[in-house]
Amino acid sequence: MIRSGIRGETVLRGALALLPMLAPALGHAQDAEPVLDTGNTAWMLTSTVLVLFMTLPGLALFYAGMVRSKNVLSVLMQCFAVTALITVLWMLYGYSLAFDTTGMVDGEINFNSFIGGLKKSFLSGIGVDSLTGTIPESVFATFQLTFAIITPALIVGAFAERMRFSAMLIFLGLWFTFVYTAMTHMVWSGDGALMWDWGVLDFAGGTVVHINAGVAGLVAALVLGKRKGYPATPMPPHNLALTVIGASMLWVGWFGFNAGSAVSAGGSAGMAMLVTQIATAAAALAWMFSEWVSHGKPSVLGIASGAVTGLVAVTPASGTVGPPGALVIGFVAGVLCFLASTRLKRKFGYDDSLDVFGVHAIGGIVGAVLTGMFAFPSLGGVWDPGETTMGAQVWIQIKSVLFTVLFTGVGSFVLLKLVDLLVGLRVSAEDETLGLDLALHDERGYNL
């Protein structure tokens, strides 16, 4: 199973002893104990900030602008609260469940292939000098935390405008605990992890973040049911200016998400940045032109959404594809996500309020599968496949996608039903009509 790239260019997350990492600046031999690299650390500190910025306020504004004005605060509140909640849970046990490698054996499937132990609960053992590869473990843990924050925050978009705040907190807390940490562990924790051992290529979270959140969003939309009046009543976005500002912040912040997943400041990060930009631009244009042809006019919501789909799709690919692959991935994602968000949704009639499934699940699936092809040098990729054939890798990608869909689909459904029994998921019809800002928070977004 080949994991690292040529000349150590490709770096994947993992526990200290299992990272096959080189420090390009120091040029050390692979068998030396990794030492702190200030260049890598500086970049990772920055990336962490960028990814947090993606949630606060990037995603928060992106979503807030798309809901009706009576619900603007509820969306912002959910994003803010999720950020705070996940941070605490990450510290208590989340980091440990995700990245503790106790009991993991390369090539063997056991309990710890699916979830980590509790050895690192309360972040115990992490001191000022603790390292994960060539960066401080504190930085690695915080960087990963920002991913753990944005993933449940994404789901907010699917049940917007009708979910009870308490139910949302409990559900996302449980979902983080039982679904997110396991997904992170299975894909990224190192040798002995289920999908890591399969050889899946998921650089920055196509499965862990996007398909995961996207499918959970669909399940939530189905379990909660449609908003009152959907689809007959018009529910236009109340402030697309906010949405575009949010999308712009997502674009910028995503360089931390993808290039930061190199966990190094070098060629891998550089290529990740380049392919991210190309795929995003291609997807933005693809959605824009698709809409222009299909509906007669290009729209700003469309181009912003298109850009986000490109960012999503290139996420798993950003460590292994080259510019040609990025162009194709972006274009395909833009077109397919456009169709999923406009046609598919209407055809099946589900109310995924802000198209979490259409953008993140479909975009993530497109990206994950195409990574299996475009990682190969023959298609412009920068990955060293060793003995693996393209067909074999594509199958590994598909297998991982299917597993993710099943795992999160079932997990999300069970947890939603549980929370429904405990506190009830949905607000009353009166509260939904009044608006969540007043009904749940006694506040108005705009006192004009």
Partner 1 sequence: MKLITAIIKPFKLDDLRQTVAHIGVQGLTVTEVLGLGRQLGHVERYRGAAHRVDLQPKTRVELAVEDTIVDEVVEAITNVARTGRSGDGKVFVAKLAAAVRIRTGETGAEAV
Residues within the interface to partner 1 (CB under 8 A): 231, 234-237, 295, 297, 299, 301-302, 305, 341-343, 345-346, 355
Residues paired with 319 in a beta bridge: none
Q: CA-to-CA distance for 65 and 171, rounded, in angstroms?
A: 24
Smallest distance, Å, CB 251 to partner 1?
18
- Checking 25-31 for CB contacts under 8 A at 24+ apart, the result is 25/265, 25/266
Smallest distance, Å, CB 236 to partner 1?
5
Main-chain dihedrals φ then ψ at residue 297, nearest 5 degrees: -140, 145
Query: Hey, what are 123's tokens?
Result: 């972040």
Q: Which is nearer to partner 1, 25 or 235 (CB)?
A: 235
| Rounded to 5°, angle at Cα 210 from 205 and 214 | 160
Smallest distance, Å, CB 170 to partner 1?
30
CA-based radius of gyration for the chain = 21
Smallest distance, Å, CB 180 to partner 1?
27
Q: Which is nearer to partner 1, 129 or 347 (CB)?
A: 347
349, burial (CB in 10 Å: exposed 0-12, middle 13-18, buried 19+): exposed
Smallest distance, Å, CB 237 to partner 1?
6
Is residue 193 a contact partner of residue 185, using CB atoms and an 8 Å limit?
A: yes
Residues in the chain: 448
Q: Which is nearer to partner 1, 302 or 330 (CB)?
A: 302
How far CA 425 is from CA of 136, 141, 202, 436, in Å, comes to 40, 32, 33, 13
379, burial (CB in 10 Å: exposed 0-12, middle 13-18, buried 19+): middle
Q: Which is nearer to partner 1, 254 or 287 (CB)?
A: 287
**What is the DSSP code string of 404-421?**
HHHHHHHHHHHHHHHHHH
How far CA 312 is from CA of 79, 269, 423, in Å, comes to 19, 17, 33
Smallest distance, Å, CB 70 to partner 1?
17
Query: Hey, what are 363's tokens?
Result: 């975009």
Q: Which is nearer to partner 1, 319 or 358 (CB)?
A: 358
Smallest distance, Å, CB 347 to partner 1?
11
Q: Which is nearer to partner 1, 27 or 234 (CB)?
A: 234
Alpha carbon 146 to chain centroid, angstroms: 10
Which stretches of 260-322 are DSSP H helices?
267-295, 300-314
Q: Which is nearer to partner 1, 67 or 439 (CB)?
A: 67
Smallest distance, Å, CB 163 to partner 1?
20
Q: Which is nearer to partner 1, 229 or 270 (CB)?
A: 229
Residues paired with 132 in a beta bridge: 135
Q: Which is nearer to partner 1, 119 or 346 (CB)?
A: 346
Smallest distance, Å, CB 298 to partner 1?
11
Q: Which is nearer to partner 1, 231 or 386 (CB)?
A: 231
Alpha carbon 368 to chain centroid, angstroms: 12
Q: Which is nearer to partner 1, 26 or 301 (CB)?
A: 301
Neighbours of 92 (CB within 10 A): 15
Smallest distance, Å, CB 302 to partner 1?
7
Sequence-separated (6 or more) residues with CB below 8 Å from residue 135: 36, 37, 40, 41, 44, 263
421, burial (CB in 10 Å: exposed 0-12, middle 13-18, buried 19+): exposed
Smallest distance, Å, CB 446 to partner 1?
16
| Rounded to 5°, angle at Cα 44 from 204 and 148 | 45
